[in-house]
Structure 1
Amino acid sequence: MIIVMKAGATKKDRDEAIKRIKELGYKPHVIHGTTRAVIGAVGDERGKLVLQSIESMHGVESVVPILKPYKLASKEVKVEPSVIRISDTVSIGGKEIIVMAGPCSVEGEEQIIETAKAVKAAGAHVLRGGAFKPRTSPYSFQGLEEEGLKLLAKARDITGLPIVTEVVNPETADLVAEYADILQIGARNAQNFALLKKVGQLKRPVLLKRGMSMTIQEFLMSAEYVMSEGNQSVILCERGIRTFETATRNTLDLSAIPVLKGVTHLPVIADPSHGTGNYHYVAPMALAAVAAGADGLIIEVHPDPERASSDGPQSLKPKKFDALMAKLKLVAESVDRTV
């Protein structure tokens, strides 16, 4: 259920409503709109009729049932798009298309600093790079771990770019949160509910990638796990799903972008690097994603992809990334956005 407060409701009115929601055994989540606040009351569906009594409280306009199974992520709770603040200069979900770029893995100081400077010069807003790497094979490069986080932080100090990096388990989540500006949940962990709950308790925006075989509803239910723990700053990422096609690494589901934009207030970005697995296809799919309504992109860039420790075939060299950024500006303008 959502409790819609009146336009002139005071903080005292809201606090009284929150207190009553808790007394009835529900968990309140305040969502601030442009003209009024609403309070999501999440809990056992079987007893939701008791919440109707809140409608008589001072400052409350109405109590409305939420029909979607994903309560807090639904547009039923918040109609206008959420704009998530990443840093003093970067927010995602507004008119500006936010581009996150960098290597799949942090391999060393020279590599990550060189890449950070290159993507910054090309116009990227956020530096991506993996310090902890969950790999299909136990023999593949697993990342530099905390040393990689320190190198990402150094790159941020030099360039001013906020950083996004992956969290792979609840045990290291607090460590990653000490360094990262955005916590990434990869496709393999998209239904790791213990991890989703953990990052939901941390005060960092979360970039949630779609699982390789997840439906849209399952994807949004994973976002709901994060949000139900109190963290409303979730960014959804379409990164391709597994189909019968073998010409690309995955099938980048661009139709998911307008579908998600129609049912959730959360920002949606696309990952054409993992979505295709081939650098030849990254630029055209990035342009198509922006045309489809994506709020941002996450793109792999490496100064020497042939020698990359992971995902070299899908990584752009800095010159190709620079050329892509120039084209992105043109497409963004055509859909009334900026880069």
Structure 2
Amino acid sequence: MNLLEAVRLVAARELKVKLRDKTFLFSTLFFLLFAFGSSVLPALFAGGPSSVAVAQSSPYEGKLRGAGLNVKVVADPEKTVRDGDADAAVVAKGDSAEVLAMKDAPNDVVSALSVAPEVHLLDPDAVDPLAAFLVPFMFALVFFFTSLTFGIQIAQSVVEEKQTRMVEILVAAVPVRALLVGKVAAGGILALAQVALIAVVSIVGSQFSDDAGTLLPLLAPAMSWFIPFFVLGFIMLAALWAAVGALVNRLEDVSSVGMPVQLLVMLPFFLVIFLGDNPAAMRILSYVPFSAPTAMPVRLFDGSAAAWEPFASLVILAAAAAGALLAGARIYEGSLLRTNGRTSWATAWRDRELRSI
């Protein structure tokens, strides 16, 4: 059996086990419902247009209907408002209009009757401030939670195989490196599939929003670049998490031994969030392998990245992922069959070196 066939068998086994895991299925369903709710609920709770009462033959009826308001033609507009059957009423007062409301006049009614001045946009392609905050936050959040969640699951899977002695059977059947690459490949497939489902659900839910037509075209380039950055970033971190699992023999030790890897995931998340409005810092972060999967798509979204920059950043990230995969494989091979307690990073590295001599 060659290495490629062994990797395929290990990945297929990992996928079958994971797809039968109820915890994984319920967590995926939860994320999908959260993504859909986050997209739909704001639009639903925003409420519809105000209802406004006008008298018969009112000169303002056409203007109010043209603004999309719910116009009610009644005999007594003021009584309609007092009875709670309309949010506001518009009546003629001399040559102008008067808005009647119980407490606060709805802004959409006032806007419909106002004469808007001519507006000339100096920067029509500028990103909305709210979107400028939410998009970086969502990119960082998706990569942070996905890489951390699936990475820890990979480490726990390795520990469980060591505890049950299953790893000895697996090593006898396939090369040790095939186990590592197969686990990383299966985790990457599941993580990417989960992110894709969340993206689809979010896009469908965003259609209920009035800003969908303007935001989605701006997001498309950043989302298309996010996929290769996400895949390479996940491979880089997943290889390290697999090494963490090989270093320990108890599930309780995964968190403590994996603390350096957790910091490599957490620090870029907070840096992108808090330094998102700093162009110089974001430029640097978009070339650092552990922050590039979120920083570069954000720069592509706000238009601050040159056309060549994502390619350069992707090459650096690919090199870092390859290095992490080789280093993780060395640690993995040097500690996987050790069952006499926790193994240090240095010991696992030296053990693999001695075995290769």
User: Which category describes the TM-score, using the shorter chain as reference length?
Assistant: under 0.3
Question: Larger RCO: Structure 1 or Structure 2 (Cα < 8 Å, ≥ 6 residues apart)?
Answer: 2
TM-score scaled by length of structure 2: 0.22
Structure number with greater Rg is 2
Would you tell me which structure has more helix in proportion to its own residues?
A: 2
Would you tell me which structure has more strand in proportion to its own residues?
A: 1
